[in-house]
Amino acid sequence: MLLLALDTATPAVTVALYDTDGDRVLAASDQTDARRHGELLLPSVDRVLREAGRPLQDVDRVVVGTGPGPYTGLRVGLVTAETFGAALGVPVLGLCTLDGIAYASGLEEPFVVATDARRKEVYWARYSDARTRVGDPAVDRPSELPAEVTAMPSVGAGARLYEEVFTGLRTDLPLDQSAAALACLAAEKLAKGEEFPPPRPLYLRRPDARVPANYKVVTPK
């Protein structure tokens, strides 16, 4: 089975093509640019498929990171995955973005994953090992997290950003989301017949209900 995995919930724009029969990543692309997810994603998908020499029509499942993540970028990956799914007639499988980072860490002990949520906050979740999340992801100020959480081994760009709080930061482990890891995790779950969450965004915050002073004014002056 051929899996196309993508994730735009963090500053990374990451795409991977994974063959579950050979248990291997055929091609992957990782770029980091928090403001150009929309421009980078489709060219990345195109390159990965060309690199692997497989057309999109060969893909059997689309796997997408559902966040949590800053909304504008997060939506790029989700709408792309959903539209691929609709056009190809294949299922779209959601996976929590933090679970991908946790899986890539390979840790066998309890730890915490944190990504940058901006506004001086992090998206975070606890894990008992690389495959097992404890509870739902949340968004908080690092300084307001329980001491037992911030003292755990920690991975992710959010932990790096607030290194003074996340004292257990594992600098030897990958900081950013990788679609290759997400695809491996999805392959494992598929093999075990596990359920996937729907490909819906984990925003974790309510929208800013503020109408800009010049709302709707889009004509150049």
Partner 1 sequence: MADEPLVLGIETSCDETGVGIVRGHTLLADAVASSVDEHARFGGVVPEVASRAHLEAMVSTIERALREAGVAATDLDAVAVTAGPGLAGALLVGVSAAKAYAYALGKPLYGVNHLASHICVDQLEHGALPEPTMALLVSGGHSSLLLAPDITSDVRPLGSTIDDAAGEAFDKVARVLDLGFPGGPVIDKYAREGDPEAIAFPRGLTGPRDAPYDFSFSGLKTAVARWIEAKRNAGEEVPVRDVSASFQEAVTDVLTRKAVRACKDEGVDHLMIGGGVAANSRLRAMAEERCSAAGIRLRVPRPKLCTDNGAMVAALGAEMVARRRPTSGWDLPADSSLPVTEPHLPGTSDAPTDSHGQAHPHTHDHDHVHELSRENLYS
| Burial (0-12, 13-18, 19+ Cβ within 10 Å), 2 | middle
Q: How many CB atoms lie within 10 A of CB 23?
A: 11
Q: Is 27 among the residues that bind partner 1 (CB under 8 A)?
A: yes
Q: Is 47 among the residues that bind partner 1 (CB under 8 A)?
A: yes
Q: Is 24 among the residues that bind partner 1 (CB under 8 A)?
A: yes
CA distances from residue 175 to 60, 136, 155, 160, 169 in whole angstroms, order as listed = 29, 20, 6, 8, 10
- Which stretch, 49-57, 108-116, 151-159, 189-197, contacts partner 1 (CB under 8 A)? 49-57
Interacting residues of 185 by C-beta distance below 8 A, sequence separation 6+: 95, 99, 100, 103, 131
Q: Is 128 among the residues that bind partner 1 (CB under 8 A)?
A: no
Residue closer to partner 1 by CB (options 75, 145) is 75
Query: Rounded to 10 degrees, what is the CA torsion of 102, 15, 3, 124?
Result: 20
Q: Which residues pair with 63 in a beta bridge?
A: 5, 93
Q: Is 41 among the residues that bind partner 1 (CB under 8 A)?
A: yes
59-98: contacts with partner 1 (CB under 8 A): 71-72, 75-76, 78-88
Q: How far is the CB of 26 from partner 1 (least distance, A)?
A: 7
Specify the 3-state DSSP secondary structure of 18.
strand
Q: How far is the CB of 220 from partner 1 (least distance, A)?
A: 5
Q: Is 3 among the residues that bind partner 1 (CB under 8 A)?
A: no
183-212: contacts with partner 1 (CB under 8 A): 184, 201, 203, 207-212
Amino acid at 43: P
Residue closer to partner 1 by CB (options 125, 180) is 180
Candidate list 21, 192, 193, 216; residue touching partner 1; CB under 8 A: 216
Q: How many CB atoms lie within 10 A of CB 208?
A: 8
Residues that bind partner 1 (CB under 8 A): 16, 23-31, 36, 38-48, 51, 56-57, 71-72, 75-76, 78-88, 104, 106, 178, 180-181, 184, 201, 203, 207-212, 215-221
